[in-house]
Chains A and B, each alone.
Chain A
Amino acid sequence: MSSRGGKQKKGNVTSEQEEEEQPLQAVLVADSFNRRFFPISKDQPRALLPLGNVAMIDYTLEFLTSTGVQETFVFCCWMSNKIKDHLLKSKWCRPTSPNVVHIITSDLYRSLGDVLRDVDAKNLVRNDFILVYGDVVSNIDVSQALQEHRHRRKVDKNISVMTMVFKESSPGHKSRCEEDDVIVAMDSKSKRVLHYQKTQGLKKLQFPMNIFQHGSDEFEVRHDLLDCHISICSPQVAELFTDNFDYQTRSDFVRGILVNEEILGNQIHLYVTQDGYGARVSNLQMYDSVSSDMVRRWVYPLTPEANFTDQQGQGCTHSRHNVYRGAEVSLGQGSQMEENVLIGRDTSIGANCRISNSVIGNNCTIGDNVVLDRAYMWNNVHISSNVEIHQSVVCDGAVVKEAVRLNKQCVLAYNVVIGPNLSLPEGTVVSMHHPEEEEEDDDDEFLSDDQEVGHSKDKTRQKAFNPAEVGPEGKGYIWKASMDDTEDEELAQCLWGLVLNPDPESDSESEASEESQDHSRSVSPEIDDVNAFQLEVLGTLQRGLEENIVCDNLVLEINSLKYAYNITLKEVMQILTRVVLEYPFQQQGTQLTTLQYTGSLLPKCNEGQRAETVKE
């Protein structure tokens, strides 16, 4: 900016001052508008689920505040009362908070589109704002992206409507969400997004040619980007959502802008950060990887011991191998906390336990000889002795009785009791909600919250628990995605999301076939003309025979074909002779007429050719 001329500078200073005066605003959407976390999110909205013993929305608000946001609009829908209660108690609603949080609730929001349409209707934003979900964990400094965005808008007269923030991470990275796997084509110089596509399930990536026609001669196709779901939007974004009532999600919007770029003249840019951290907890796989990144301090300064939510008693100590202990933690004799362990306050652990890569909430009790690996236990969980838990989530109030084994990717939802003496197979989800009840209350789910939960609990009690599934003393039902929802894409995906498969081998087959195709294509052109000519001659001959055309006419026709296919005279004779000789054999009954007909054709044709050679 300093390199600009003096005159310009003056103008800029005033406009910049104007901008400075306006506080930076953010729109935080504290709802996912999907049911990926069901049945857990039946009892608690996703934004309040604890990650490293802190509600996810607190990370998002901390991120916004640290990038300089002064006014945040939190939009809640599902269980808005809980979110409201949480926020009112938190430090964000204290009078000293640098970030003023407005909570806007409505049960009518069904998508991001609805939220932004409401932003437009209520005229909430006055300037560029940050759009973010309530489950984003990030430490990216967006101010530079914001500066670039503002600069672009100043130079290009409001053409750029959005700047998406991406983090660089190569494919196969742990924190890459397979569902959000995107491919982006961009202009290398202007950082403009030309093409944006989710690659899930695709083998070939196709880019329309018109995106390369913008005068630039250098493009980049990037597959190493992780969508942080943080976007810097111009106020126009809200208007555009209002104008296009069919935009539901951000990808609808991005697609719409890119497709209509020529008509509307709006552009989207991107900002890539190399060292920041940003990820959205969109499924349990992501929950697992973000939690472990958190404990491993990748999101510094947002670390477990920082207690950035400023709550009493939340503090913990950090010691070697990333072991964090809250206040009043007791550890039995012979128990080991190997590495990357976070233990909340007032938790007691029995003797001879082995704990690694796990997060344990407040007020938990853990018995003797327990093995925990990649276990995420929330508050008030009781684990008896001789339990083994691998890569699983245990929600508030759950009880795991003696000698239970949770295999990978199990989920015990709120207040479930399991055991004793049971081994849950991989991927089991146990909940106090009966899977069938979901359909019954499907319609009023968005309308009522707490009341509905209590109501359904009554119902569940009427149904008996299956001891084969949850153990003799167990309470809970095995949760399955209901069958009739398969058409609904969102639900068909499992709670844990897709498993990363490093390099799908299935590619090879299609490659091989493609290769062979390529080959036949590259070989063909030379032979083609001759072949096509031969086919044509054969066709002519057949037609002549069927329709009884005079030989002279056929000769004329074949002679003209010669020019059409650019065939030399010699080749014509070769092919003609071959066709004439082979033709009778191709017919089922070798009729005399065929032979006669073709036989008479040959000399005539020869004659004609000879005459032509003389002419030439």
Chain B
Amino acid sequence: MELQAVLMAAGGGSRMMDLTYNTPKPLLPVGNKPLIWYPLNLLERVGFEEVIVITTKEVQKMISTDPKTKLDVKMKLDIVCIQEDADMGTADALRHIQQKIKTDILVVSCDLITDAALHEVVDLFRAHNATLSMLMSKAHEFTETVPGQKGKKKTGEQRDFVGVDGTGKRLLFMANEADLDEGLVIRKSIMRKHPRMHIKTGLVDAHLYCLKKSVVDFLADNKSVSSIRGELVPYLVRKQFSKSMTSPNVNDEADQNLKKKDGNANLEIQILSRDEVLLQLTRERSCWNDHRGDMSEAYHGGRLRCYVHIMDEGMCYRVNTLAAYIEANRLAPKLFDEPAVHPSAAISVRCLIGADSIIGASCQISDKASIKRSMIGASTTVREKVKVTNSIIMHGVTIEEGCNIQGSVICSNAVIGRGADIKYCLVGSAQRIEPEAERTNEVIVGTDQLMEI
């Protein structure tokens, strides 16, 4: 086994609380499949037979009991639960399962929906004997209107600056705008080694990482790192260009710091041993070099290397906001070819269902209903003369006669009263919309949910 797959599915979905209040993020329906199915399917497609899934008790219970969230994957799922309230980061989770990890790992986040060719990332990892290789993609503009969001929200989030070398593969620099108060600072020694650096913004990190086993061991020794994206990756990227610390002459430093140093040394030693003798010999004897321009050896003698594959085209979404969720629902059905209408759905002959819509299991759709560019979840009842366009209806929803629903998200078990007109709204789970209501651009959630915020 070359790589072990680890799926991180314990995130709370804190950036789309309205959706995840009742349904945990991994189980949110996208194209009538739970979100977690997409990364699992991605792994299965490339031939993984076993996946370690890190998730919460709640999700595990729902997966095993609820038929709606049944995952039709053939892989063996090794589900590891972590405590929900422990506030564990992704790196903490890796540390938690350290015993299970025997080889290099492929870490995937549960909210990744992509048609990326995974082998590109893995090939970089293999070809350069890299410590880290990751996947990024050009950021997509979300075109759909997002409920409850007034006007065009400027992507006010701070940009990530990603520096890659001339080939666009080697990851040289990574920082967030927020940390760059004093401007972007690059050491000259890096520029000497990689004289042409492309600095890109507007990239989305897919949160898909290939990591050496030694990195997991390093995490085990280094308890302070809690998040992969936030701390580990920037650390590794920085670490590529620092010389090995040979002189431990920092005795007067605090005890903590010393421990840290030990951890670093540990990492270095392990990586060194990973660079097998035979490999070293091959590199010495061959005329191959990873760079041109100067006459120094390949990789400038560095043992820690980070690579990134940046997708130019194709689909790559991280479903971590409402906007991304809506967008993913629009595009996800293109990823698999299953009948759009589930065989167990009861659909009247005299209704209109667009080819770009998905109808879940045991739905009831009555006469003269019209459904376009929408997703209808399982066991949902749609009465006569209902018009649904551009919307996401989760399972167990009842829509009474004559409703008009446009560009909205209706969460599970909601009831929409007769003749209601709902445009660009988010209706929380188990909400009731009174008949003849007219709602536009609102977030309709229960009062208990509001307290939370």
Task: Give the interface of A toward B (CB within 8 A).
Answer: 169-173, 183, 188, 199, 202-209, 212, 217-224, 502-504, 507-508, 511-512, 514-516, 518-520, 522-523
Q: Which of A188, A204, A508, A520 contacts B185 (CB 8 A)?
A: A204
Chain A residues with CB under 8 Å of B183's CB are 206-209
B side interface size, CB within 8 A: 45
Known A205-B187, A516-B257; contact A522-B293, beta-carbon cutoff 8 A = no
What distance in Å separates the Cβ of B401 from its nearest Cβ neighbour in chain A? 49
Assess the B294–A206 pair: CB atoms within 8 A: no
A523 x B256 contact (CB < 8 A): yes
Contacts A170-B292, A522-B231 known; A221 to B197 CB distance under 8 Å? yes
Task: Let me know if B437 is at the binding interface, CB within 8 A.
Answer: no
Chosen A-B contacts, 27 in total, with CB atoms closer than 8 Å, are: A169-B293, A170-B195, A170-B292, A170-B294, A171-B191, A171-B195, A183-B191, A202-B188, A204-B185, A205-B186, A207-B184, A219-B198, A219-B200, A220-B197, A220-B198, A220-B199, A222-B195, A223-B192, A223-B196, A503-B192, A515-B239, A516-B260, A516-B261, A518-B238, A520-B257, A523-B224, A523-B260
Which residues of chain B from 218 to 239 have any CB-CB distance to chain A below 8 Å in the complex? 224-225, 231, 235, 238-239
Inter-chain contact B242/A172, CB cutoff 8 Å = no
- Say whether B293 contacts A217, CB under 8 Å: no
CA distance A239 to B195 in the complex (A): 35
Task: Using A223-B192, A511-B242 as known contacts, say yes or no to A172 and B186 having CB atoms under 8 A apart.
Answer: no
Do B196 and A217 touch (CB < 8 A)?
no
1/0 per position for B147-186, CB-CB distance to A under 8 A? 0000000000000010100000000000001001111111
User: Judging by beta carbons under 8 Å apart, are B184 and A171 in contact?
Assistant: no
Q: Closest residue of chain A to B243, judged by CB?
A: A508
Across the interface, do B185 and A224 meet the contact criterion of CB distance under 8 Å? no
Contacts of B235 in A (CB 8 A): 518, 522
Residue in chain A with minimal CB distance to B225: A522
Q: Decide yes or no: A221 and B199 within 8 Å by CB, A183-B191, A206-B182 being known contacts.
A: yes
Which residue of B161, B186, B195, B224 is within 8 Å of A204 (Cβ)? Answer: B186
Closest-CB distance, A316 to chain B (whole angstroms) = 33
Contacting residues, chain B, for A522 (C-beta < 8 A): 224-225, 231, 235
Closest to B177 in A: A209
| B245 in the interface (beta carbon within 8 A) | yes
- Interchain CA distance A516-B235 in the complex, whole Å: 12
CB < 8 Å A-B pair total: 129
From A171, A218, A221, A519, residue with most partner B Cβ within 10 Å: A221
Asked, given contacts A219-B198, A222-B195, whether A212 binds B243 with beta carbons under 8 Å apart, the answer is no
Contact of A224 with B184 at beta-carbon distance under 8 Å, contacts A512-B242, A516-B257 already known? no
Known: A502-B294, A511-B243, A523-B256. A219 touches B199 (CB 8 A): yes
Question: Given the complex of chains A and B, what is the CA–CA distance between A566 and B449 in angstroms?
Answer: 24
B254 shortest CB reach to chain A, Å: 8
- A168 nearest CB neighbor, chain B only: B196
Which B residues lie within 8 Å of A221 (CB)?
163, 186, 191, 196-199
Which residue of A170, A207, A511 contacts B241 across the interface (Cβ within 8 Å)? A511
Roughly how many angstroms separate A516 CA and B181 CA in the complex, as a whole number? 20
Q: How far is the CB of B387 from chain A (nearest CB, A)?
A: 39
A217–B224 touching, CB < 8 Å: no
- B contact residues around A218 at 8 Å (CB): 198-202
- Which residues on B sit within 8 Å (CB–CB) of A222? 195-197
The 8 Å CB contact of B293, one of A203, A212, A224, is: A224
A203 to chain B, nearest CB (A): 6
Instruction: Mark each residue of chain B from 391 to 402: 1 if its CB lies under 8 Å from any CB of chain A, else 0.
Output: 000000000000
Q: Does B198 lie within 8 Å of A503, measured CB to CB?
A: no
User: When chains A and B are docked, how far (Å) is the Cα of A514 from the Cα of B235?
Assistant: 12
Interchain CB contact under 8 A, A511 and B184: no
Q: Write the chain B residue with the least CB distance to A513.
A: B250
CB-CB under 8 A from B2, the residues of chain A are none
| Cα–Cα distance between A172 and B199 once the two chains are bound (Å) | 23
* Interface flag for B251 (CB, 8 Å): no
Q: Are B180 and A217 in contact (CB under 8 A)?
A: no
* B64 CB-CB contact with A under 8 Å: no
What is the bound-complex CA distance between A220 and B231, given in angstroms?
Answer: 25
Q: Does B338 contact A (CB under 8 A)?
A: no
Nearest chain B CB to A322's CB is how many angstroms away? 22
- When distances are taken between beta carbons in the complex, the residues of chain A under 8 Å from B295 are 172
Which residues in A have their C-beta under 8 angstroms from that of B264? 515
List 8 other contacts, CB 8 Å, given A171-B294, A209-B184, A218-B200: A183-B188, A204-B185, A204-B187, A209-B177, A221-B191, A223-B188, A223-B191, A520-B257
Residues of chain B within 8 A of A203, CB atoms compared: 187-189
> Which residue from A208, A220, A224, A507 sits with its C-beta under 8 Å from B189?
A507
Chain B residue at smallest Cβ distance from A172 = B294
Between B202, B225, B242, B253, the greatest number of chain A beta carbons within 10 A of the residue's beta carbon is seen for: B242
Are B238 and A206 in touch, CB under 8 angstroms? no
Please name all residues of chain A whose beta carbon is closer than 8 Å to the beta carbon of B292 when the two chains form the complex.
170
Distance of A203 Cα from B185 Cα, bound (Å)? 10
A171 touches B192 (CB 8 A): yes
The CA of A188 and the CA of B196, in the complex, are separated in Å by 11
Mark out the residues of chain B between 263 and 299 whose CB falls within 8 Å of any chain A CB in the assembled complex.
264, 292-296
Q: Min CB distance, B403 to chain A, in Å? A: 42
CB distance from A566 to the nearest CB of B (A): 14
Mark contacts of B298-340 with chain A using CB atoms, 8 A cut-off: 1 yes-contact digit, 0 otherwise: 0000000000000000000000000000000000000000000
Which one of B184, B231, B245 has the highest number of Cβ atoms from chain A below 10 Å of its Cβ?
Answer: B184
Tell me which of A188, A223, A511 has the highest count of chain B C-beta atoms within 10 A of its own C-beta.
A223
Interface centre among B182, B192, B196, B242 (most CB of A within 10 A): B192
Residue contact A217 to B202, C-beta cutoff 8 Å? yes
Give A523 to B239 CA distance when docked, in angstroms: 16
**Residue numbers in A under 8 Å from B161 (CB-CB):** 212
Q: Nearest Cβ in chain B — how far from A377, in angstroms?
A: 31
Identify the closest chain A residue to B199 (Cβ): A219
Q: Which single residue of chain B is at the shortest CB-CB distance from A520?
A: B257
Residues in A neighbouring B256, C-beta threshold 8 A = 523
Please indicate the chain B residues that have their CB under 8 angstroms from the CB of A514 in the complex: 242
Q: Which residues of A contact B198 (CB under 8 A)?
A: 188, 218-221
> In the complex, A519 Cα to B185 Cα: how many Å?
17
> Taking CB as reference atom, which chain B residue is nearest A514?
B242
For A188, the closest partner residue in chain B by CB is: B198
Q: Which B99-134 residues have C-beta < 8 A from chain A? A: none
**A residues less than 8 Å from B231 (CB atoms):** 522
A205 to B196, CA, bound (A): 14
Contacting residues, chain B, for A209 (C-beta < 8 A): 177, 180-181, 183-184
The distance in angstroms between the C-alpha atoms of A421 and B203, with both chains bound, is 70
Q: List chain A residues, Cβ under 8 A from B189.
A: 203, 503-504, 507, 511
User: Closest approach, in angstroms, between the C-beta of A464 and any C-beta of chain B?
Assistant: 49
On whether the beta carbons of A516 and B250 are closer than 8 Å, the reply is yes
A474 to B191, CA, bound (A): 48
A221 to B200, CA, bound (A): 11
A111–B295 Cα gap in the complex (Å)? 39
In the bound complex, how far is the Cα of B181 from the Cα of A207, in angstroms? 11
What is the minimal beta-carbon distance from B10 to any residue of chain A, in angstroms?
A: 20
Most buried by B among A170, A203, A516: A170
Please, how many angstroms separate the alpha-carbon atoms of A511 and B296 in the complex? 20
Which of chain A's residues have a CB closer than 8 A to the CB of B192?
171-172, 223, 503
In the complex, A584→B22 CA distance in Å?
53
Chain B residues within an 8 Å CB radius of A204: 185-188
Interface contact B185-A205, CB-CB below 8 Å: yes
Smallest Cβ distance from B90 to chain A, in angstroms?
15
Shortest Cβ gap from B243 to chain A (Å): 4
Residues of B within 8 A of A502 (CB): 294, 296
Most buried by A among B202, B224, B264: B224
B260 touches A519 (CB 8 A): yes
For residue B245, which residue of chain A has the nearest CB? A512
Q: Are B182 and A519 in contact (CB under 8 A)?
A: no
Closest to A511 in B: B242
Q: CA of A131 to CA of B198 in the docked complex: distance in angstroms? A: 30
Residue of B nearest to A505 (CB): B243
User: Does B293 lie within 8 Å of A171, measured CB to CB?
Assistant: yes
> For the complex, what is the distance from the CA of A221 to the CA of B191, rounded to whole Å?
8
